[in-house]
């Protein structure tokens, strides 16, 4: 029996280019990358050098703070490059695949025979541990900490999000094995949230060993942070672990096959996507391997690893992020529209505040959106705009101002433990002041990690 939670606040952004439920390409591994920048708070220690031979599952670098947490190669081949930035900061390790896909094998007994310590040890040694995030702060989970519970969302609601029922249709057994293993890491149970609209049509409600929850409402109802806030809010001193659904499958494959297998089905979508659909890729795939989906007729294309609200602009030469199963292709809005703000009709433009007559169009209509901000930064004024799209029991404006002031005590009182950047991405989208809300929250989280360590 599952509970039903209905959310009214939020916004489903009607952007065009949703991926059709069909697989149009399987990318053969070429150059892939593992990027320390995908993992908040990680200070990498390089374990390989250019030219080294590696297998899938061979450690490439480790975390200096927690040396037992290693980050491994997703393919077999040779280390192609060690990419560094300013002050020799490690930005990425790229691996050139040999096409053999040889993997490091691990002896994996039956999950029933393993206790918590044995499961943690295997997840760390295999390189699968980074799949598990920890709240507060959205950092890699601390293996020495016992979380009060583990949360998984099976209902992504972000713009153009991949359909998990389609993308993971062949991974049910792996997901079940992953949930069974995760269940031994906490005494508070594994909480799985499913969309109420598609509850019966999804195989995920058949999963065993989970506490089911049904959510109904617009984005960000699918964000695990929102779900935690409504089911079991995080208090100071408490820890909750979260795992993306497609990474649960990675954990499960380790226990079923004894290898690190991080391939995934990603959605390639957006207004600037040719033939938006699904592509099977290795973890860390190069965007050049899916360049055929870029629609250059729309002008310069912004290539985003993740969704258009909280993803990273990696460019056409970048790589897929470790935690992403979506590539969003959006036209660059590098143009100026004179008197755009006072044109009343503008039926081709979407407006949250109903500034244009487009709000009279059917709700099913999709818009060819671009990256134009339609204005510049203005005064940060107090309004109820954020509260209309953030279905969490916090006061967003006061929290953001507490972060800007660096007031840690106020940040704690106002809910800094509850959120990460993706939870406030809609606030940034609807903000009439054009404030970079996610950047503010990111700085606040970094301050908390530094001061509370």
pLDDT higher than 70, residue 238: yes
CATH top-level class for 29-97? mainly beta
Query: What average pLDDT does the segment 361-386 reach?
Result: 85
| Per-residue confidence (pLDDT) for residue 341, from 0 to 100 | 63
Minimum mean pLDDT range among 22-31, 91-100, 332-341, 379-388: 332-341
Beta bridge partners of 240: 135, 149
Measured between alpha carbons, how far is 84 from 64 in angstroms, rounded to an integer? 17
Alpha-carbon distance values, 81 to 3, 96, 103, 442 (Å):
50, 9, 20, 29
pLDDT tens digits along 258-312: 999 999 999 999 999 999 999 999 999 999 999 999 999 988 999 999 999 999 9
Measured between alpha carbons, how far is 302 from 314 in angstroms, rounded to an integer? 8
Reduced to 3 states, what is the DSSP secondary structure of residue 203?
Answer: helix
pLDDT tens digits along 114-172: 999 999 999 999 999 999 999 999 999 999 999 999 999 999 999 999 999 999 999 99
- CA 171 vs. chain centroid, Å, equals 19
pLDDT higher than 70, residue 181: yes
| Per-residue confidence (pLDDT) for residue 344, from 0 to 100 | 64
pLDDT higher than 90, residue 242: yes
| Per-residue confidence (pLDDT) for residue 351, from 0 to 100 | 83
Q: What is the dihedral of CA 358, 364, 367, 371, to 10 degrees?
A: 100
Alpha-carbon distance values, 186 to 122, 283, 340, 380, 395 (Å):
16, 27, 54, 42, 31
| Per-residue confidence (pLDDT) for residue 348, from 0 to 100 | 80
Whose tokens are 């031994």? That residue is 184
Between 240 and 101, where is the model more confident? 240
**Domain definitions of the chain by residue range:** 1-28+99-333, 29-97, 386-452
pLDDT tens digits along 190-207: 999 999 998 888 999 999
Query: What average pLDDT does the segment 421-435 reach?
Result: 94
pLDDT higher than 70, residue 176: yes
Tell me phi and psi for residue 414, to 5 degrees: -95, 0
Percent of the chain at pLDDT above 90? 86
Q: DSSP letters of 14-42?
A: -BS-PPPSSEEEEPPP-EEEE-GGGSTT-
pTM for the model: 0.96
Average pLDDT, the chain: 94
| Per-residue confidence (pLDDT) for residue 340, from 0 to 100 | 65
pLDDT higher than 90, residue 357: no
pLDDT tens digits along 22-42: 999 999 989 999 999 999 999
pLDDT tens digits along 380-404: 877 889 999 999 999 999 999 999 9
Distance, first Cα to last Cα, the chain: 40
Instruction: Report the alpha-carbon angle 155-157-158, nearest 5.
Output: 135
Residues with Cβ within 8 Å of residue 450, at least 6 apart in sequence = none
Instruction: Report the alpha-carbon angle 321-325-326, nearest 5.
Output: 95
Measured between alpha carbons, how far is 442 from 445 in angstroms, rounded to an integer? 5
pLDDT higher than 80, residue 358: no
Q: How many CB atoms lie within 10 A of CB 357?
A: 14
| Per-residue confidence (pLDDT) for residue 425, from 0 to 100 | 97
Residues 20 and 279 sit within 8 Å (Cβ to Cβ) = no
DSSP H or E run through 247: helix 245-257
């Amino acid at each position: 029996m599952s509970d039903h939670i209905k959310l009214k606040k939020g916004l489903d952004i009607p952007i065009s280019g949703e991926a059709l439920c069909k697989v149009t390409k399987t990318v053969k591994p070429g150059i892939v990358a593992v990027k320390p920048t995908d993992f908040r708070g990680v200070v990498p220690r390089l374990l390989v050098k250019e030219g080294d031979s590696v297998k899938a599952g061979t450690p490439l670098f480790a975390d200096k703070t927690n040396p037992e947490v290693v980050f491994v190669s997703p393919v077999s081949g040779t280390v192609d490059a060690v990419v560094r930035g300013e002050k020799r900061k490690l930005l990425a390790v790229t691996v050139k695949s040999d096409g053999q896909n040889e993997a490091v094998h691990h002896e994996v007994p039956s999950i029933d025979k393993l206790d918590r310590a044995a499961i943690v040890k295997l997840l760390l040694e295999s390189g699968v541990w980074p799949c598990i995030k920890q709240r507060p702060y959205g950092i890699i989970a601390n293996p020495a900490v016992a979380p009060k519970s583990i949360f998984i969302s099976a209902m992504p609601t972000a713009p153009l999000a991949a359909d998990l029922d389609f993308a993971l249709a062949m991974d049910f057994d792996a997901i079940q094995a992953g949930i069974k293993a995760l269940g031994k890491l906490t005494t508070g149970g594994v909480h799985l949230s499913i969309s109420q609209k598609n509850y019966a049509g999804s195989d995920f409600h058949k999963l065993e060993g989970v506490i089911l929850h049904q959510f109904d409402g617009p984005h960000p109802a699918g964000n695990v942070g929102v779900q935690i806030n409504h089911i079991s809010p995080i208090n100071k001193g408490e820890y909750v672990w979260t795992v993306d659904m497609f990474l649960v499958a990675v954990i499960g494959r380790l226990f079923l096959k004894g290898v690190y297998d991080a391939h995934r089905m990603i959605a390639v979508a957006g207004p600037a996507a040719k033939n938006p659909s699904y592509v099977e890729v290795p973890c860390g795939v190069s965007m050049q391997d899916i360049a055929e989906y870029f629609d250059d007729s729309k002008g310069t294309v912004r290539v985003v690893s993740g969704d258009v609200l909280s993803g990273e602009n990696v460019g056409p030469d970048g790589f897929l992020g470790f935690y992403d199963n979506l590539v969003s292709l959006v036209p660059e809005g590098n143009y100026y529209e004179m008197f755009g703000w006072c044109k009343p009709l503008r039926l081709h433009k979407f407006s949250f505040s109903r500034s244009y007559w487009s709000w009279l169009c059917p709700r099913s209509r999709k818009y060819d959106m671009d990256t134009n901000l339609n204005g510049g930064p203005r005064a940060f004024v107090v309004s109820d705009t954020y509260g209309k799209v953030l279905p969490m029991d916090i006061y967003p404006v006061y929290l953001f101002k507490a972060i800007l002031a660096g007031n840690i005590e106020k940040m704690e009182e106002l809910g800094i433990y509850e959120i990460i950047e993706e939870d406030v991405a809609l606030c940034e989208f609807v903000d009439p002041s054009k404030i970079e809300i996610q950047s503010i929250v990111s700085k606040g989280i970094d301050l908390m990690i530094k001061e509370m360590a």
